[in-house]
Structure 1
């Protein structure tokens, strides 16, 4: 206490706690507050009076507190400031007990018994209380024991003039009777409060259950913990279902994904080397075909030795999660689980790593598949032509879409949607048209295909033709920036025309007739197709035999980490149905605890019931 007020204070709101245990002691908390004063004496800190009143009011305001209003029998009650404060906080007196102390000194000082009687009968003060008690706390010795204090108190009341004259009743005397009254009132207040709270909780639960029946009829109420377990079960079932997918389904999906991701690189290499090898000479010549074949062989070997295996693993990794996301929902699927399931999949995707040995195994298979240069059957030839056609069509659609965005709306869109082109877009359209004319003219002269870059002669010719059309100020930079897409569109269309011709030339290829030299792209894509088939089969085996189990471990790890994370559950399991179910279950649990508590309180009042 000295350390609390060593800075010059008189009272402090800091509580000094003391636990007293022993047989027969009532279970309660007693808060001993400083007495209410009316005057601050010398040595007291300023505002001490107000600090004491605020501290007392803080505890009196608590509706679960019992107020022990202690008064000195030797002091006139009119001089006390405590009664008004008590009356203000408990005007009905339902939780106030009046205690009159130092009654032995009052008898010695010959205080009027009538006044003491009126005070203990509640007729003197404007203060309502549940009970009025008189106590004597020993003879005043500093070393008096508790038994000695009790003996002194009993002896005084037995011989007291107040008792003999009927001022005091037996139930009003001694601190033990007062403590019993406090204990009884305390538990009575507790029971009233608990029963009121139980009724309030029951009303709240009824309202929530009614709302549930209207909003979610026929649905069971799941808490967040139960929903998490359902999500866990569904996620693990999904991972197991991946291994049960048919082998053909896996290989078809992997083959399609590999074709989309890998064949554009093969096509770019083919177009680039074709332009280099055919620059300035007949593309059907033996030297041009041999040079193109040599360049493609070198590129395929380098590709398979460096980037190809890792690209295939990345594609398979993406396809694995695409299949996981695309699995059909369970019959009893709850949409509330979807955010959590998506978050777990995303977290597992971060943690999941493909087996590092996979790339080495793929590299061996892919090298063997790409080394097969001859197309053995007509069916293989047709399959390679079909693959080449699909790749050309996809790339042509991309290029034409990019051209359409650059050049603005086409004729049909301008007519139906009343949308026009900007001046810059109109100029780009004129440049692109003239560059196409240049390509067509150059391709027709001597059967020569234009290279991927514009020559100086081409630039001069295009500017002259545009000037004749009224397009002035065209620079070389404008033409060179517009050229790549126009040339790529032209080259892809020529490739599609060649596909139609090459589809008929398998016999020429088999007999090594010179006209098949233009179809060198078909054997090239046959090799690419064989590599895709071998890779998709190998990746399917890796997924079913290994990666599905590695993914399952990653999912389990995330689920185990999130199982006790309430913040994660609240973040991903949300919605009115979740909150309603949580509130209803929480209220039911509180009701059960309150009912058990009320039952225990009733049992203490009725010994037969407790037995």
Structure 2
């Protein structure tokens, strides 16, 4: 989960850099420098190990809690279970549709056609319970099984919406098996606790650590003239260098004139 926090922090940093480009007073001269700083600081920044250990313990303690305290939390767990299953069902049905090709109506109205492979998979899907040896069956089996499993679990979740009372009584005489709701409640709680902990770690620690790393990178770049010369480019930089050269020449000329005047 720390990877999620790390990705989020650096995505936000990248977003800020990109947003800065849209400002009216944006100066393009620093664009390459910013890109280099982002890449280098990203490579150097590692999530603090103590924070990872703390997060791991927190997750374990949360998952060990198997008691849903009230109906509000029960309803929340059922909702989370339904949303997760519907998302998985949508993914599975989308994959099956991709494998079996356009439906009859789509073929008629959209001028789409099934390939020979689509037809084979479609037949495999229809005969899956009877034939298990042909290759199209093996290929389609995983998605069809998942579809049936998710639909069954989704139906079970809907039946468990009013099952909190039976849960408190231990499901003894209800015929309901809502153990999956408890599992999803534990997962949901774990995700909530983890998200809050990661948010606190980012705000209280990791953002500051990243800021220090960025400052260190900038200091390293400032001490390396070759790096700055590579990263800071453009007509303005060239003009600045030319002006610096002109000033140096003027200084030398003034020194030469002063030396001549002294000889007189």
TM over 0.5: yes
Give the TM bin, normalised by the shorter chain: 0.7 to 0.9
2:240 — aligned with what? 585
Distance 2:225 2:112 in 1: 54
Structure number with higher relative contact order (C-alpha < 8 Å, ≥ 6 residues apart): 2
Alignment of 1:102-501 (within 5 A): 312-327=1-16, 329-330=19-20, 331=23, 332-334=25-27, 337-409=30-102, 414=107, 418-435=111-128, 438=129, 458-459=130-131, 475-501=133-159
Task: Calculate the aligned-residue CA RMSD, in Å.
Answer: 3.2
More helix by share: 2
Question: How many matched pairs?
Answer: 259
Please name the residue that 1:551 is paired with: 210
For 2:69 and 2:42, how far apart are their aligned partners in 1?
A: 42
Normalising by structure 1, what TM-score?
0.38
Q: CA deviation at 1:559?
A: 2.3
- 1:419, CA displacement in angstroms? 4.0
Tell me if 1:504 matches 2:162.
yes
User: CA 1:511–1:336 in structure 2 vs 1: closer, same or farther (change >3 Å)?
Assistant: farther
List runs of 5+ in structure 1 lacking aligned partners.
1-311, 439-457, 461-474
CA distance in structure 2 between the aligned counterparts of 1:564 and 1:584, rounded to whole angstroms: 22
Partner of 1:52: none
Query: Does the 8 Å CA contact 2:121/2:137 hold for their aligned counterparts?
Result: no
Residues 102 and 113, structure 2, Cα contact 8 Å, conserved in 1 = yes
C-alpha displacement of 1:339: 4.4
The 10-residue stretch of structure 1 (420-429 or 556-565) with the greater mean CA deviation from structure 2: 556-565
Instruction: Work out the CA distance in 2 between the residues paired with 1:526 and 1:589.
Output: 68
Q: 1:555 to 1:597 in 2, by over 3 A?
A: closer
CA contact (8 A) 2:55 2:194 kept: yes
Instruction: Summarize the Cα distance change of 1:336–1:459 in structure 2 as closer, same or farther, 3 Å threshold.
Output: farther
1:526 to 185, 196, 219: 185
Q: 1:547 to 1:601 in 2, by over 3 A?
A: closer
Please tell me whether Structure 1 or Structure 2 has the larger radius of gyration of its CA atoms. 1
Cα displacement string for residues 543-588 of structure 1 (whole angstroms, at most 9, x for unaligned residues): 2333223222322332233224455445555xxxx42102222232
- What SS is found at the alignment partner of 2:11? helix
Q: 1:591 to 1:430 in 2, by over 3 A?
A: same
Query: 2:78, 2:181 within 8 Å by CA — same for their partners in 1?
Result: yes
Change (3 A) 1:340 1:421: farther
Could you state the TM-score of these two structures normalised by the residue count of structure 2?
Answer: 0.80
SS of match in other structure, 1:491:
helix
Query: In 2 relative to 1, CA 510–432 (structure 1 residues): closer, same or farther, beyond 3 Å?
Result: same
